[in-house]
Copies of this chain bind each other. A is one copy, B any other.
Amino acid sequence: MAASLKIISEQLGLSKAAVSIYFKDPSTRRISKENKERIRRLADELNYRPNVIAQSLSSLKSHVIAILIPLNVSYFSSTFLNQALCGIQSVLFNKGYNFIFIPTRGSNSPVIVRKQLERSRGYDGFILFGTRACSEENMRENVEQMLKADYPFVVLNMPDLGYEINQIVNVTPKSSSAIRYLLELGHEKILLMAGARQAPDTVLAIQEYRECFSERGLAVNENLFLNGDYEEMVARSELLQAINNGIEFSAIYCLTDTMALGAYEALNEKGLKIPGDISVIGKNDSFFARFLNPPLTSVRVLMYEAGKLGAKNLLRRIESNETPRKIFLKNELILRLSSAVYRPLNMDQGIE
């Protein structure tokens, strides 16, 4: 049985309040010196530590931010997420906020978030993180829930949802479009290694793909849209299968660097040279991108900054009730050696 204020106060013949006052500020003058000394001694003896749960209840402030991630698998392996977490952490820790991850077993995003919210009243704020399992529509439902419950929150890793809420949006300006860049290099058969069709990132990428192609009057071949599920191994096998099926392409744009790893593997296995035969571009500019062979051209997404700004705005909302704001961060295409000017591929030679 852990020592509590009550136990200490009873043993000393004081009120809980008196003991509480002392611990809140040991230099207080509201408690007599003798009593301070007695409290200190007994607390030390009983190894007293305040109960944060009770503190939170009584002060109606928990100093805990819940991070809601609509995904029911381990997600700390995602470099995307980890970059954002680093940014979030840098702000929250400075301001003395803890952050918590809530478990769920739901199958889809709205269910997961709803369940998380059911177990969340009492936390000071929320960070909603978009994932591959969370369509834009899903996230809108989630946002509606948050608004209805009147929770302070911020949305990360999602396209602009249109609400007047705290949101950090990472956008790709035309000048940083991987597809546009590949087209400029002369590639016209560009394979898109994306995720499931409803994943927001995939939706945006396909939209951008179509725009770029229609601008140039080129037809879009839907067979070039693969679903690598944001997993290295899936991307690898999808690509191998595409090659085996005789699908022709001279460049690949992968919506994560991890899938680009899978692409590298598949191309190596097939004896295709990067970028001699096939150009590859990744997304997120993970720290390992420049160490690959060849170094990977990648779209840098400012997730660290997104996490940092998101957390800042959330705290502003919590502590000063500032009005929500939307911030746009521009992605940047980082050129490395995995992408090159189009050169017709001699299929007989390249693929065994």
Contact = CB atoms under 8 A, between A and B. Distances in A.
B121 A291 contact: no
Contacts of A104: 93
A288 B93 CA distance: 29
Nearest to A149: B47
Interface in A81-107: 82-83, 85-87, 89-90, 92-105
A122 B293 CA distance: 50
Nearest to A145: B47
Contacts of A50: 118, 121
A74 B77 CA distance: 16
A351 interface: no
A83 B100 CA distance: 18
A276 B207 CA distance: 48
Interface size class of A (residues with CB under 8 A): 35 or more
A122 B63 CA distance: 14
A121 B57 contact: no
B51 A122 contact: yes
A53 interface: yes
A98 B115 CA distance: 13
Q: Helix, strand, loop or mixed for chain A's interface?
A: mixed
Interface in A292-345: 292-293
Contacts of A292: 288, 291-293
Contacts of A266: none
A52 interface: yes
A176 interface: no
Contact of A98 (B94, B100, B121, B261): B100
Contact of A52 (B74, B87, B89, B120): B120
A222 interface: no
A96 B232 CA distance: 29
7 contacts: A49-B117, A76-B82, A77-B82, A82-B82, A98-B100, A98-B102, A288-B292
Given A50-B121, A76-B82, 20 more contacts: A47-B148, A47-B150, A52-B122, A53-B56, A74-B85, A74-B87, A76-B86, A76-B89, A89-B101, A93-B105, A94-B105, A95-B103, A96-B103, A98-B101, A98-B102, A99-B101, A288-B288, A291-B291, A291-B292, A293-B293
